[in-house]
Amino acid sequence: DVKVTQSSRYLVKRTGEKVFLECVQDMDHENMFWYRQDPGLGLRLIYFSYDVKMKEKGDIPEGYSVSREKKERFSLILESASTNQTSMYLCASSLGSPRGSPLHFGNGTRLTVT
């Protein structure tokens, strides 16, 4: 079974702090994704990565950056946390091929910025 592990289930940070959300997958998947989930808005793609050191902006990348130094690890960075980044963050991974391979999700990190 694919396992996607997010390092924290709950996180509370102060406005202006630099925040790191970590995600590790154990199935040698090429693709990794960061989404945020907000009520009424569904899941929105922040960034994704299709290879080590390769990344692409999603639909809402402003205020975020990412790092993928190793294939199994994909980090989401909030350079200067703001209250509007309070949300549930979901990491996911998938095989590069065949096209249509499902995303496997971690359990999420609920981030509160005060």
Partner 1 sequence: AQKITQTQPGMFVQEKEAVTLDCTYDTSDPSYGLFWYKQPSSGEMIFLIYQGSYDQQNATEGRYSLNFQKARKSANLVISASQLGDSAMYFCAMRLISNFGNEKLTFGTGTRLTIIP
Q: At residue 60, what are phi and psi to the nearest 5 degrees?
A: -135, 65
Q: Does 73 bind partner 1 (CB under 8 A)?
A: no
Backbone dihedral region of 28: left (phi > 0), alpha (psi from -120 to 50 degrees) or beta? left
Tell me the window of 14-22, 60-68, 76-84, 98-106 that interacts with partner 1 (CB under 8 A). 98-106
Q: Does 42 bind partner 1 (CB under 8 A)?
A: yes
Among 23, 29, 31, 111, the residue binding partner 1 under the rule CB under 8 A is 31
- For residues 73, 74, 77, 82, the Cα torsion angle rounded to the nearest 10 degrees is -120
Q: Does 58 bind partner 1 (CB under 8 A)?
A: yes
